[in-house]
Structure 1
Amino acid sequence: MTSTSGADRTNVIVFFTDQQRWDATGAHGAPRDLTPNFDRMAAEGVHVYNSFTCQPVCAPSRASLQTGRYPAQVGCFRNNIPLPEDTPTLADRFNEAGYDTGYIGKWHLGDTDTAGPVRPEQRGGYRDWLASNLLEFTSDAYETTLYDGDGRARELPGYRADALTDAAVDYISRERDAPFLLFLSFLEPHHQNQRDDYPAPEGYAERYAGTWTPGDLAALGGNSAEHLGGYLGMVKRLDECLGRVLAALNEQGLAENTVVLFTSDHGCHFKTRNAEYKRSCHDASIRVPTVLRGPGLDTGRPLQRLVSHIDLPPTLLDAAGLKVPEEMDGRSLLPLVRREADDRPDDVLVQISEAELGRALRTPRWKYGVVAPDADAWDTPAADRYVDAYLYDLHDDPHELHNLIADPACAETAAAVLDPLRKRLAQRLAETGEYPVIEPAR
């Protein structure tokens, strides 16, 4: 399948942020001046209101977005495992359809000993390349080094998110005969690893310090008091960058035939659930902001059904009029967007690694999580035995402050709901080829 002209075909842009909580958007309760461009997309397009990562850590979540499969099934069940070179990716599918495919920013799916350049065979099929494997280690807020298709270092001026946006606007503005897929992958609002801080553009941290605190952080604290201003300042700049990308599409006359997906790889709990920022089953880790706009997607209706990252790659293919491969674990969202009859479940499966080896089921009301108490969470992709560890009633406890499994006074309530949740989790695991024993907590 090839194309000689991209004028009447659908382009696709993925605007991908790193470690952004779902509620760090005005559409989800943050200050309304924080994300006006995201909020406008949500109001005019398809706001995926309940959107969840498959795995709340960088490389696994990225593997799922590139493949439409669960991270443990791809093999990337934790960081420092490269995406297998023979794994079909989103770029491969678009390449086959005659698209130009470009990647800009953070990759995090290459060789574990390489922070900067990525070998061509590890670039997931993307043909136009300006990226770093671990952007957090080859850049700082105002020092950005990316590597081009020949592996040469390129120093980009200005604030890091602005530098990536400059490159994206350049890519969008090029003359071409084919439609394009552009994956634009930021580091913001991820912390700067070397210093464990959140470097916003100059003056932005001060603008948002002390202005607003999500409910879980107000109750649990962590290091949010120190870092939330910088974090929100980074989110603000990302939204300004989103506005620039959308404006570039308008200026080039491409807005009407370009699908834009905004999403993030995982959230950020500010060291309230473990010793770092993610890798837990809580919504602060797994729930992310997601919105779609473009041909067939400008409905202005929110999508309330629970959606997993594995559903986004087939959605992009479907929206571009391309076939969705059977091996993808997810399903296109377009039937839901069109309000067609659909039998998909209203729950999502989440895989956990590194901090603990676990699995979680998120339903509209319940958060149920299990852990493998005897497993090495770094070297083990899955376990034969899990034990109940988390149960939250999200209707009564939306900030997940009261773990019912850990409270003897709630044993009767927990017992009434745990059995069907265990059975449902076992069903979801079986769909991925896992058949563990799930035991009650002692």
Structure 2
Amino acid sequence: MPSRRPNVIVVFTDQQRWDTTGAHGNPLGLTPEFDRMARTGTHAVQACTPQPVCAPARAALQTGQYPTTNGVFRNGLTLAEDARTLAHHFGDAGYTTGYIGKWHLADDDPVPAHQRGGYDHWLGANTLEFTSEAYKTVMYDEDGEPVRLPGYRADAIFDAAIRFAADHHEEPFYLFCSLIEPHHQNEVDSYPAPDGYAERYQGRWMPADLAALSADPANSSTAHRHMGGYLGQIRRVDEGLGRLLDALRSMDLLDDTIVAFTSDHGSHFKTRNSEYKRSCHDGSVRVPLAVRGPGFEGGRAIDTPVSTVDLPPTLLDAAGLGVPAEMQGRSFLPLVRDPGAQWPDDVLIQVSESECGRALRTSRWKYYVSAPDADAWEQPAAAEYREAALYDLAHDPYELDNLAGLVSHRELADGLRDRLVERLVAAGEAAPRIDPAPVRTHPQRRVDPTVHSFKLDGVRFGHQQRAR
């Protein structure tokens, strides 16, 4: 008789930057549980969201499709009722499926049954930031009745996840556990951490991008005011992750359960635009991603960029289920098994609401284009874009020096542009026209084409090194 398929749990935070984790060098000891997952399981070192805003990122993670394909390319849109989600795929394979927490893919609270993405068991809210507060967690059950859970909000959601695992430990289950932390509390624009947690971290650490850009009086950065609460929330979430893993261990489920931890997007604290996300920068798009459990053990680090749109097919693949043809993400399980497996060195990022934009992020480069004349609220894509940014992430990881338009980098930008168009077409978009950025030079940015060259996906741009 074949062994039972592994249980699957996705722990999903809201608005968490990648560099808040110790696995990415954060010095504050905020995330020992995540760090252990990354160290002993599989760590996607350069994980990015396909869309840096709540609903599109969530729709992509439920369907394995880009937002322009599944239809949820901005907030305020609902996931199509006939959309096939992870709940449908796991449910068809005999799994009990459950959803706990923030949904943000419906048009009302409580979420109507037909807008719950096919999940069997339900305890959630469409916009949890509006139905709850830090110590007043209100969600809705399967009958649409409000349920108030005791304790700090992240604790309450982890408690519910533990109860779900305990109630369904005898059959294979798939659970999506969606926290609101470390998102801000909208009506007061603050980051309410548990008592004492904000004070513990206030003034102790600031990412280089926020430290540099917050000094500019032209932006409305809230980083210095909010960082303590933001980090305090992350610390408490990590403690909840530890309690969940301990509970699985106590029920003899830990070795039989795949646990994935990631976030919908990051936060740039109003340094790049007037919001917290919705930009092409790593502060918005780069997220933590680690997976532990069957198939992911052994301390594997994936250094190639992956997208969270790749997580749905990866989870299905790891559970021994087929990856549906309609999924546009790609299972990264082959990279777990073999670091030399074939994989593209780039991910596609779509940006909406603040602007209609597209980005290609490679291991080294960030190439971003924007459609200045597009209606970013109504148009999912544009026919014409203009180059807006080029960053060398190897030497400028916090994206403070925009190289777009520099003559020295023109050939590189052309190669990235062509690759971006390829990715857009593969994602189902029409091939757009991309106009170059205005030409400019810089005396310290000269590149001798007879000496220097750039390599992108095995293709060399520029001349080979001068022969001696």
Q: TM > 0.5 between the two? A: yes
2:295 and 2:171 mapped to 1: Cα distance? Answer: 21
Q: What does the per-residue CA deviation read over 1:363-419, in whole Å, with 9 as the maximum and x for residues that have no partner? A: 11111000011100000001000110011111121110011126xxxx222313111
Contact conserved, 1:54 with 1:309, CA < 8 A, in 2?
Answer: yes
| 1:193 counterpart = 2:186 | yes
- CA shift digits 1:153-211 (9 cap, x unpaired): 00111110011111111111115542000000000000000011100001100000011
**In 1, Cα distance between the equivalents of 2:436 and 2:29?**
46
- The equivalent residue for 1:405 is 404
Residue in 2 aligned with 1:418? 413
Give the structure with higher Rg (CA).
Answer: 2
- Cα deviation, 1:70-91, whole Å, max 9, x if unaligned, reads 0111100000000000011110
Percent identity, please. 60
Q: What SS is found at the alignment partner of 2:376?
A: coil
* Deviation at residue 218 of structure 1 after TM alignment: 1.3
Residue in 2 aligned with 1:261? 260
Map of 1:249-328 to 2, 5 A cutoff?
Answer: 249-328=248-327
- 1:179 maps to which residue? 172
Q: Residue in 2 aligned with 1:163?
A: 156
Q: 1:12: which partner in 2?
A: 8
Query: Helix, strand or coil for the counterpart of 2:409?
Result: helix
Map of 1:42 onto structure 2: 38
Amino acid at match of 1:215: A
Return 5+ residue gaps in structure 2 as ranges: 215-220, 439-468
Counterpart among 65, 69, 72 of residue 68 in structure 2: 72
Which 10-residue stretch deviates more, 341-350 or 382-391? Answer: 341-350
Relative distance call for 1:403 and 1:297 in structure 2 (3 A) is same
Kindly report the root-mean-square deviation, in angstroms, between the aligned alpha carbons of the 2 structures: 1.3
After superposition, the Cα gap between the structure-2 partners of 1:341 and 1:49, relative to the gap in structure 1 and judged at 3 Å, is: closer
**1:42 and 1:175 mapped to 2: Cα distance?**
27
Distance 1:214 1:311 in 2: 27
Q: Give the corresponding residue for 2:437.
A: 441
Distance 1:285 1:349, change over 3 A: same
Deviations 1:86-129 (A, max 9, x none): 01111000010000000000000001xx2x21111110010100
Q: CA deviation at 1:301?
A: 1.9
| Alpha-carbon distance, 1:337 to partner | 0.4
Give secondary structure in 1 for the equivalent of 2:17.
Answer: coil
CA distance in 2 between partners of 1:340 and 1:166 (Å): 37
Contact 1:102/1:182, CA 8 A, preserved across alignment: yes
Residue of structure 2 in register with 1:33 after alignment: 29
CA contact (8 A) 2:135 2:152 kept: yes
Match of 1:103 in 2: 99
- Distance in 2, matches of 1:343 and 1:52, equals 19
Alignment of 1:124-273 (within 5 A): 124-221=117-214, 222-273=221-272
Count matched residues: 431
Query: In the alignment, residue 142 of structure 1 is paired with which amino acid?
Result: Y
- For residue 7 of structure 1, report the CA deviation from its aligned partner: 7.4
Contact 2:169 2:253 survives alignment (8 Å): no
Moved runs in structure 1, 4+ residues, more than 6 A? none
* Aligned AA (2:415): P
Of 394-403 and 175-184, more deviation after overlay is shown by 175-184
- Counterpart-to-counterpart distance in 2, 1:181 and 1:31: 34
Aligned residue in 2 for 1:390: 389
Task: State the distance in 2 between where 1:176 and 1:161 align.
Answer: 22
Give TM-score scaled by structure 2 length: 0.90
- Give TM-score, length-normalised by structure 1: 0.96
1:80-91 matches, cutoff 5 A = 80-91=76-87
**Gap runs ≥5 in structure 1:** none
AA matched with 2:258: V
CA contact (8 A) 2:368 2:387 kept: yes
- Of the three residues 54, 58, 73, the one matched with 1:62 is 58
**3-state secondary structure, aligned to 1:361:** strand
Which letter maps to 2:417? R
Deviation at 1:441?
Answer: 2.2
Q: How does 1:337-356 map to 2 (within 5 A)?
A: 337-339=336-338, 342-356=341-355
For 1:165 and 1:202, the matched residues in 2 are separated by: 18
Say whether the 8 Å CA contact 1:7–1:177 is kept in structure 2: no
